[in-house]
Structure 1
Amino acid sequence: MLTTLKNHKSIVMLSAALFTITVLFSGIYTFNGINAQSLEKLTINFNTLTFGPSTSNPLNQVYSLVDYQIKDLSLLGTTINGEMKVYAPNGTLIKTSAYSNGFTPTDESGTVQFRTAIPDQSLTNVLVNVTFTDLNRTQPISNTISSGVAVTP
């Protein structure tokens, strides 16, 4: 009987420990999720995304129009930046494009253009990621959008 009581006590203690650990990890995950969400001061999505011949040089170019919606109105009238990263199908970063002096949103919503020439003319498709950042491009302030795009003649 004493052995059975010890086994029950051990099972209860183990269950309590597992419950406590589960609650702690779940709380940490929720807390981190809240922090990540609060960094998004605006949301973005692709309006237009193309990959094809440039009108100004013989290289193919990636061209995107990105729509934004400001969630943190303190961004209005401040200079921010954004990056468009272009990857080869194997995941290799080919090119990063950004504004040299940033841009200044003046409305709660709008559209920003990114464009870059791709030196490797053998590529027929690429992956494009865009994120808006602080002016120095060190801190993301938006969600990251991603899409594959194939060459169009």
Structure 2
Amino acid sequence: MTFPTYLFLSFLFCSSLLHRPTLAIKKSYVVYFGCHSHGLEVSSFDLDKVTESHYEFLGSFLGRNKAKEALFYSYTRHINGFAATLEDEEAAQIANHPKVISLFLNQGRKLYTTRSWDFLGLENDGVIHSSSIWKKARFGEDTIIANLDTG
């Protein structure tokens, strides 16, 4: 192979690397529509209908198949909305739709404390005392216990 041929092939190879299409970065967004039209008595059919409406809405922007891949959670009970992985441009288009009340990044929250049990008096340095509410409540048996400290 001659030097000019080698130089030309090297140029083509390098230029093809520079002209590769870049993939847009997708982020997780929450699309919020407000409240549901279904009442308090909700059937599984109603919940499926809500999820299907979310797929249809997102499909109108992305196409049905891409919507099935992008949408990963549908809020069907208390709020009406969904979470999906979208490109920034797709999110901007969706945010401008009149049915959308808000669209925001789906961000995780960091837990700042691991000492809530001590603070609430449930344990003291990992020890459960006999007067602890844990023992009085039979350690939450048949009870749903939650504590969300948002600061």
Bucket of the pairwise TM-score, normalised by the shorter protein: under 0.3
Structure having the larger proportion of residues in strand: 1
Using structure 2 for the length normalisation, give the TM-score: 0.28
Greater helix percent: which structure?
Answer: 2
TM-score scaled to structure 1, two decimals?
0.27
